[in-house]
Structure 1
Amino acid sequence: MHSSLFRTALVLGLLSAIGPFSIDMYLPALPQIGADLGAAETQVQMTITLYFLAFGVSQFLWGPMADAWGRKPPLVLGICLFALGSVGCAFAPSLGWLLAARFVQGIGGAAVGVVPRAVIRDRHTGVEATRLMALVMLVIAVSPMLAPLAGSAVLAFGGWRLIFGTLVAVAAMSLLVTLFALPETLAREDRVPVNLRSMARGCRVLLGDPAFLGLTFVGAFGFGSFFVFIASASFVYTEHFGLSPTGFSLAFAFNALGFFAASQAAAPLAQRFGLVRVMRLALGGFAGAALLLLGLAWAGFGTLAVLMGVLFVANAFLGLVMPATFVLALEEHGDIAGLASSLGGTLQMVTGGLLVTLLGPFFDGTPLPMVAGIALCAVLALGIGLLVLRRPLASLATGH
């Protein structure tokens, strides 16, 4: 592996991890936040949903900015907004204040969600881009494995407000990485001015591309399954199964491990068998595992061991799908990679946020509603995937 590829993956992975870190780190504190601010479970879950919605909608702004100004300026501005929102969360006197600060945090976090994908498209396409995306995801894997544990340690030491203070420090480090370790990958002559006409023209191209839309929504419902899990797991694991914040962090890390470990096999398998075949089989495995878990939970066998074990398998299959959906959705749109990345990210995050909002009233702290939501996402992802991949397009089949 070339050292430059690894260095790029490390830098982009560290930046991309800001968004997930801002969620995963405070998950162990959700019950404490509710008790401290006098909020019910569904109200506390809105701090996750609102972040997702802000993250999703604002991506539509960051992408065109990245196409017009280059990749680095939007990253710097976004990280600064993320830090400002984190300060607001740390000093929030009420749930309303916390929700507003999380919204600002989500707007800033969106910049580091959309721009790194455009950077990857600037440098690579096909299997090589899938390999780089998988490496980026490997770096991001530090977040769900370590962030909840770090949040539990901070929670024990100084309470939930200190968690958001820690995120301010994370933002400061990310700013330094952006300024001094990330090169500008979009040449001045390749930049596209921000104007409504060019954005509308680009959106018409993207929304008229069935492959782009299909792959985007495969990713949307794949991510949606994570959003459902994130919104309800802390209550299910701590209140239903009686785990401590540290125990929940370990269980959460185990469930995430399957996804990120499998994502590293995406590029080699795609190179050997073709992206279409790998995605079809992986989507089938994801849906099959999710439906199996739903059946077990419905029949009364939804123990902690069963939940963790089958979710590990389901997430492993999903890990084979997600890197390819990111890469293939942008494959034919290199000239508007920033807009394509932002529109795709907006559709995915808004879809996930709406899913959590719609399913939220059914979450009661028990495993069955959470598992049913994950199974619904898996079936929708499989159905859309089979439709968009039914014709073996040359670029999809070969990965080039």
Structure 2
Amino acid sequence: MSSSNAQVSRYAIVLGLLTTIGPFAIDMYLPALPAIGHALGADPHAMQASLMAFFIAVGAGQLVAGPLSDMFGRRRPMVAGLVLFMLASIGCALAPSVGVLVALRFLQGLGACACMVTPRAVVRDLYSGPEAARMMSLLLMVYSVSPILAPLVGSLVADAAGWRAVFGVVAALGLAGLAMLMAFLPETRPAAARLSSNFRSAMAGYGVLLRDRHFMALAFMASFTVSGFFVYVANSPFVMSTHFGVSPRLYAVLFALNAVSLLALSQINGWLVARYGIRRVLRTAVMAQAATVGLLLVLTLAGVDRLPVLVLLLMIGFGLNGLVVPATFVLAMEGHASLAGTASALIGTMNFAGGAVMVALVAPFADGRPLPMVAGIACCAAVVLVLALRTLRPAHRMLGVVPGS
């Protein structure tokens, strides 16, 4: 392996694991959600509020964390965020009520947001075009470790030591991430580049991005793609346990299948982009995802209520996120190198804000059956398809954006 390839692999592993710390805080406690609700005397809607608090905090916090990474460099905001994340995780482990848990989950999300937005800016600092797409795919591949391992680890820890121990493990992961950051990730934003960065320029940057219709279309595509998965995250613990009678351990395995599928497709994303072009790959993946989820909705409405069918089609649909998510990020940020942190923050905010909104919209209809969850996921896929058909025409060209194909 050449030194260049070794460096790419090292950055992918470090950035991917740092990005994974926040999702671990979501995925690890999913199998224990019913048990936490029982212990704290909270109903499923109150427990979903602890998820939404995390989503909202991560989304809103990225609007600040992104510009801070442009102003002070990439490392310092992540260090501060990890310290807050660890303290909030310890607080969650000691929470006496669901209200306290929700508040601490909000703080935990604020701490996690820096490590979720900054790695994407680091990629943009170092790479562009197909190289950036390859790096994003490698990062997503490492990121996929979370939904594969976190629910299973969470169920094992909860079974062995109770649900509070899950948050203790999450705090330890934050400490490990801090040590890894300090040891292996150099500063990638030069001091000279930071001189012109301040909150006023950040606000101006957000204005530039919000007025860029091409950027916003791609950002909304990313947002609704991720939101469909968030609908699954918020509802699947109750659908699996109450409707299908799935144990926490088996739920962790079924949840991990989605990540295995995503991991498999993200591994070939770089090859597909190099051979067919990033826009063509993205268009095809979006159409395949919409068709898969649409089929699941039709079957569910027709009364097909079988766990293998639900698991298989969702595994295919969410696996395609391994092609959709990296491509939307790369294309959206391609024309905004000088605003990499701000652009990454805005996309990240839209992802988690969109997820919180979709979870809130589905929540009133959630009754433990699969249909409300599947309908919410299908709505997200339909929006992404419409945006893709309008934005990714083969001859499409936008001022200031270099096509990836």
Normalised to the residue count of structure 2, the TM-score between the two structures is 0.96
Is the counterpart of residue 106 in structure 1 residue 143 in structure 2?
no
Q: In the alignment, which residue of structure 2 is the partner of 1:125? A: 128
Query: Root-mean-square deviation (CA), in Å?
Result: 1.4
Structure 1 residues 397 and 295: alpha-carbon distance in aligned structure 2, compared to 1, 3 A threshold? farther
Given candidates 285, 298, 313, the residue that maps to 1:310 is 313
Deviation of 1:211 after TM superposition, in Å, equals 1.6
Is the counterpart of residue 299 in structure 1 residue 338 in structure 2?
no
CA distance in 2, matches of 1:134, 1:371: 27
Q: Deviations over 1:115-147 (max 9, x none)?
A: 000000000011111111111111111110111
Q: In the alignment, which residue of structure 2 is the partner of 1:63? A: 66
Given candidates 205, 225, 228, the residue that maps to 1:222 is 225
Q: In the alignment, which residue of structure 1 is the partner of 2:343? A: 340
Q: In the alignment, which residue of structure 2 is the partner of 1:329? A: 332
Secondary structure class of the residue paired with 2:187:
coil
Paired residue total = 400
Deviation of 1:157 after TM superposition, in Å, equals 0.8
Deviation of 1:330 after TM superposition, in Å, equals 1.0
Residues 1-400 of structure 1 aligned to structure 2 (within 5 Å): 2-192=5-195, 195-390=198-393, 391-393=395-397, 399=404
Q: Deviations over 1:287-332 (max 9, x none)?
A: 1111100011111113110001111111222321111111111111
Deviation of 1:343 after TM superposition, in Å, equals 1.2
**AA in 2 matched with 1:113:** M
CA distance in 2, matches of 1:318, 1:348: 13
Deviation of 1:194 after TM superposition, in Å, equals 5.2
| Farther-moved stretch of structure 1 (106-115 vs 310-319) | 310-319
| Farther-moved stretch of structure 1 (260-269 vs 337-346) | 260-269
Deviation of 1:392 after TM superposition, in Å, equals 2.6
Deviation of 1:256 after TM superposition, in Å, equals 2.2
CA distance in 2, matches of 1:392, 1:61: 32
**AA in 1 matched with 2:24:** F
Contact map agreement 2:118 2:341 (CA 8 A) in 1: yes
| Farther-moved stretch of structure 1 (336-345 vs 101-110) | 336-345
Deviation of 1:365 after TM superposition, in Å, equals 1.1
Deviation of 1:252 after TM superposition, in Å, equals 0.4
Q: Deviations over 1:55-87 (max 9, x none)?
A: 000100001100010000000000011111101
Normalised to the residue count of structure 1, the TM-score between the two structures is 0.97
CA distance in 2, matches of 1:15, 1:113: 7
| Farther-moved stretch of structure 1 (312-321 vs 63-72) | 312-321
Contact map agreement 1:276 1:397 (CA 8 A) in 2: no
Q: Deviations over 1:13-61 (max 9, x none)?
A: 1100001100110000000011011111111011111100100001000
CA distance in 2, matches of 1:158, 1:193: 50
Structure 1 residues 396 and 127: alpha-carbon distance in aligned structure 2, compared to 1, 3 A threshold? farther
The percentage of counterpart residues that share the same residue type is: 46
CA distance in 2, matches of 1:210, 1:254: 35
**AA in 1 matched with 2:68:** M
CA distance in 1, matches of 2:199, 2:15: 29
Deviation of 1:352 after TM superposition, in Å, equals 1.0
**AA in 2 matched with 1:154:** V
Contact map agreement 2:55 2:353 (CA 8 A) in 1: yes
CA distance in 2, matches of 1:299, 1:120: 45
Secondary structure class of the residue paired with 1:238:
helix
Deviation of 1:396 after TM superposition, in Å, equals 7.0
Deviation of 1:242 after TM superposition, in Å, equals 0.9
Deviation of 1:195 after TM superposition, in Å, equals 3.6
CA distance in 2, matches of 1:108, 1:302: 40
Q: Deviations over 1:167-207 (max 9, x none)?
A: 11000000001111111101100114554431221112111
CA distance in 2, matches of 1:56, 1:5: 28
CA distance in 2, matches of 1:302, 1:7: 44
CA distance in 1, matches of 2:156, 2:6: 34
**AA in 1 matched with 2:304:** F
Contact map agreement 1:276 1:392 (CA 8 A) in 2: no
